Amino acid sequence: MNWSFSPTNSFYKFCAVTGLIIMLAPMATLTWLFVYTEDLVGKIQLSSASIRIDVWHQELLSKLEENSSEPSSIEERKRRIGEEIANTTALRKTLAKQNADIKKANRYLGYVIVVGIPVVILYLVGWALAIFGFKYWYKFQLSKGTKS
């Protein structure tokens, strides 16, 4: 029994198309993941900056209330200062949560870099398979005398 393997036109097409898919799919996924994570980090940092401004504003209002010379009852001043302190405390808690989210998003960016290494390897394998498939598919077409 003679088992000889003679590749056909379909085999070369399969190699070419599979190589393209192996090249493009992981690279597109990695690009999407990177862009999504960068966007997430940007949104969180913008939100944190806004919260920092709100905290600063609340602290400034508290100081102005303490130094205010307008006649009002001591109980009214204490109530306002208590509300402003409560607002400042709530804003500080939100800011702490935002900072934790920033650390998490930055950690995800690190994961993107780690995932990038296998993606580059897959890209190179796909590139080699696509070149092999297209090259021999073209040669096969020339040897048959027809191009499709």
* 59 — pLDDT class (breaks 50, 70, 90): confident
pLDDT digits (tens, 9 = 90+) for 81-131: 777 777 777 777 877 777 777 777 778 777 777 888 888 899 999 999 999
pLDDT value, residue 21? 92
pLDDT value, residue 132? 92
What is the pTM assigned to this prediction?
0.53
pLDDT digits (tens, 9 = 90+) for 2-43: 556 667 778 888 989 999 999 898 888 888 887 887 787 777
pLDDT value, residue 4? 60
Tell the burial category of 28 from Cβ atoms under 10 Å away from its Cβ (0-12, 13-18, 19+). exposed
Contact 51, 63 (CB under 8 A): no
pLDDT value, residue 65? 65
CB atoms within 10 A of CB 100: 11
pLDDT value, residue 135? 92
DSSP type of residue 146: -
C-alpha 128/C-alpha 23 separation (Å) is 9
What amino acid is encoded at 47 in this protein? S
